[in-house]
Amino acid sequence: MRFAYGTRELGRFLFDSQTGEPISILVRSNQVHRELSLVHEIGHVLDLAALGAGIQFGSRCNPILEDWGRAVTASSAFRLLQDVGNRRRVKIVDASGSAHDASITQRERELIDMWLQPEELWARSYAQFVAAHGSLPALITSLDAFRARVPGKVYYPLQWDEDDFAAVDITIDALFRTLGWRT
């Protein structure tokens, strides 16, 4: 793992595109949520190196993840993110409760498309699973920051509300028990 300066991304998992061999994890050093970013990137490593096949992420090809995929795509967060990505305009409510329309830019739609990719959904759900089952308050603080609805801004549900995550959590727990990674 390395801390990186001057990158726009919060974190990045680097791997050999020919073999799928993990190379490194980069985490942007000047961010508040470094711990959650690190766990997210570890999720990518597990997805590729432990659950995947060669250069194929397990979240895209491994049948053992089918229940997880169904739980994710049935979640409100997934459907809301997908819905926002399909629109040109969204309603934004400011702190006073007044609503107005805002345009979704091409760059925002591209980000949403990336956020809806199986490997990104896996990494975010893995990070949330670790935060929910771990004992590091910084992870929960970061998770809450990503779940916060900020008045005057478009809400992108990159992490799940607790009740919405319950089914996803159950599938990850069952997966880890099946693999012998959790007792």
pLDDT of 3 above 60: no
Supply the pLDDT for residue 8: 67
Query: Is the CB of residue 86 less than 8 Å from the CB of residue 113?
Result: no
Identify the residue with better confidence: 12 or 81: 81
How much is the average pLDDT of 146-157?
88
How much is the average pLDDT of 105-131?
95
pLDDT of 5 above 70: no
pLDDT of 119 above 70: yes
User: How many beta carbons lie within 10 A of that of residue 39, not counting itself?
Assistant: 24
Positive or negative torsion for Cα 10, 15, 53, 174: negative
Longest dimension (CA), the chain: 53
User: How many beta carbons lie within 10 A of that of residue 48, not counting itself?
Assistant: 24
Report field, pTM of the whole predicted structure over 0.75:
yes
CA distance 96 to 158: 25
How much is the average pLDDT of 93-109?
81
pLDDT of 6 above 90: no
Supply the pLDDT for residue 2: 46
Q: How much of the chain, in percent, has pLDDT values that exceed 90?
A: 59
pLDDT of 13 above 50: yes
When pLDDT is cut at 50, 70 and 90, the band that residue 179 belongs to is very high
CB-based contacts of 76: which residues, under 8 Å, 6+ apart?
A: 157, 160, 161, 164
When pLDDT is cut at 50, 70 and 90, the band that residue 7 belongs to is low
How much is the average pLDDT of 114-132?
97
